């Protein structure tokens, strides 16, 4: 998930603040599901928007674009005022860079000619890396730079035989809306969601970081349609979760046990067929999944 900010004036991003018309924020060129979550600009929406990486672009890419973040958001009567900063690690993106990734970021046909603030549910850094617009070294350096403001959750140590029922480990793919909705639900139960970004920290590899922070009594795995695949030799493609999701699902089952891991499945997503006794819960629009998940947590010893 990332913010895409486009403005008409050539010197718009030469300062450190800007003001959008409220009707152009989280509405235009933004998927309905995402717009519904953020267009209210309530306290929770504002905090989440500040946590997203941001592309700062001028209309028709008349100037180089920049990568950065929004530091502050003030919602006024008819405008939204922001303060921002560029990431010093990433160089300016040459003119034409945003156009070159049009299809990957779901850019509208005339979107580059419209001043607005859109929110895109796409892995922007993966896209920029594949296009050669940034390097893996720059990405790692940037993540280390912002790490102090986004600290990892503190693991809760337990004695032998005890179970940590204060935290829930959440495994996710590229569907940030589902991830945020699940995290909000876990918080509403008075619990702390443990969500790890897919990079090493404190000298740990991915698997070491997962092992370090999965000392919990329950894990939730989000199977969302992030990838597509098919059996070799066939043309029948199905939606699949990210490979890291399937791997971490199996890892958590091995560490916590099947009764302490629930998979939440969004839409028609292929699930592993070689693991018996796994709990799969449909991520339905009516919210029935919430009651089903609470029942599983209660069975695992959580007081929810």
Q: Of 14-23, 52-61, 206-215, which range is least confident?
A: 206-215
Q: Which residues of 104-116 are buried (b: 16+ CB within 10 A; e: fewer)?
A: bbebeeebbeebb
CATH topology of domain 167-299: Rossmann fold (3.40.50)
pLDDT at 149: 47
Q: What is the pLDDT of residues 184-243, one digit of tens each?
A: 999 999 999 988 764 444 556 667 777 877 888 999 999 988 777 766 777 777 777 788
- Chain-wide mean pLDDT for the chain? 88
| Cα four-point dihedral sign 113, 115, 116, 122 | positive
Q: Of 98-112, 126-140, 154-168, 217-231, which range is least confident?
A: 154-168
Q: Which of 91, 195, 207 is nearest to 141 (CA)?
A: 91
Measured distance between the N- and C-terminal CA atoms of the chain, rounded to whole angstroms: 30
Q: Find out whether 223 and 241 touch, Cβ atoms under 8 Å.
A: yes
Strand partners, 86: 68
Position 101 pLDDT exceeds 70 = yes
Instruction: Report how far residue 3's alpha carbon sits from residue 29's, in angstroms, rounded to the nearest whole number.
Output: 11
For the chain, give the percent of residues with pLDDT over 70: 90
């Amino acid at each position: 998930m990332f913010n895409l900010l486009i403005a008409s004036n050539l010197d718009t991003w030469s300062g450190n603040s800007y003001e959008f018309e409220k009707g152009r924020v989280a509405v235009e060129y933004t998927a309905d599901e995402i717009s519904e979550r953020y267009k209210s600009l309530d306290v929770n929406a504002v905090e989440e928007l500040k946590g997203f990486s941001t592309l700062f672009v001028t209309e028709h890419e008349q100037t180089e674009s920049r990568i950065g973040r929004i530091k502050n958001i003030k919602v006024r009567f008819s405008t939204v005022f922001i303060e921002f900063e560029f990431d010093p690690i990433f160089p300016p993106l040459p003119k034409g860079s945003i156009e070159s990734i049009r299809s990957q970021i779901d850019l509208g046909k005339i979107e580059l000619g419209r001043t607005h603030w859109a929110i895109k549910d796409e892995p922007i850094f993966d896209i920029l890396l594949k296009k050669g617009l940034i390097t893996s070294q720059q990405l790692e350096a940037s993540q280390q730079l912002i790490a102090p403001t986004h600290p990892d959750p503190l693991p809760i140590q337990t004695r032998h035989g005890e179970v940590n029922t204060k935290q829930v480990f959440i495994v996710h793919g590229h569907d940030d809306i589902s991830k945020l909705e699940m995290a909000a639900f876990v918080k509403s139960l008075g619990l702390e969601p443990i969500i790890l970004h897919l990079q090493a920290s404190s000298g740990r590899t991915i698997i070491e970081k997962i092992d370090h922070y999965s000392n919990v009594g329950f894990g939730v795995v989000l199977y969302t349609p992030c990838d597509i695949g098919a059996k070799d030799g066939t043309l029948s493609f199905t939606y699949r979760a990210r490979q890291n999701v399937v791997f971490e699902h199996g890892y958590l089952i091995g560490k916590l046990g099947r009764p302490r891991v629930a998979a939440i499945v969004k839409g028609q997503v292929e699930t592993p067929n070689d693991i018996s006794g796994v709990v799969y819960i449909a991520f339905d629009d009516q919210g029935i999944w919430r009651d089903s998940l609470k029942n599983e947590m209660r069975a695992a010893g959580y007081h929810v």
